[in-house]
Copies of this chain bind each other. A is one copy, B any other.
């Protein structure tokens, strides 16, 4: 079916557009134009813009998970070293677009979570998965005595991901990596070492 074969274009090109202009800012006509498809064909693939939003979040999260697997689970180094390398990689990803886009998960959290129940619930699931992946590495570091043990790994993971999303917001405003650098150089070690260091 021709209709079905266009769906990957809607997802890839639509994700790109939403990442650049925001979810509400990207209208159906603009999404279809980005995918070089007739406007009416959008509804052959998605029942609503909300469903499209969940689909591009899923697509984006595939890349998040691939990076988590590569840099946290399969990489060399201690858990603390892998966490540092992971966030340094994410920081460097933003350089090519002048830190303007941030993270689609954070952007949708700010913009779409208050107005769409379906997107909000999908975001909650993805944030929990992301936090869980960070927590597994943190727990390994706690087991090895590299990371503080007075705070549960799940709480440290939540704080790291939240602080990272906040640093990305500021980087978008400043079009500069200062907040991402401060996260890597000060917040990450302060949070992982705690009082025992």
Given contacts A162-B163, A163-B166, A183-B162, contact A173 B102 (CB under 8 A): no
Tallying the copies of this chain within the complex gives 2
Q: Tell me, in angstroms, the Cα distance from A189 to B182 when the chains sit together.
A: 17
The answer to whether A170 touches B109, judged by C-beta atoms less than 8 angstroms apart, is yes
The residue that A20 contacts in the complex, of B109, B114, B169, B179, with Cβ under 8 A, is B114
Q: In chain A between 172 and 197, which residues have their CB closer than 8 angstroms to a CB of chain B?
A: 172-175, 178-179, 182-183, 186-187, 190-191, 193-195, 197
Which residues of A are in contact with B by a Cβ distance under 8 Å? 20-25, 100-102, 106-107, 109-115, 120, 123-124, 127, 151, 155-156, 158-159, 161-167, 169-170, 172-175, 178-179, 182-183, 186-187, 190-191, 193-195, 197
Known: A24-B111, A106-B166, A163-B167. 7 other contacts (CB 8 A): A106-B169, A107-B111, A109-B173, A123-B173, A158-B178, A190-B190, A190-B195
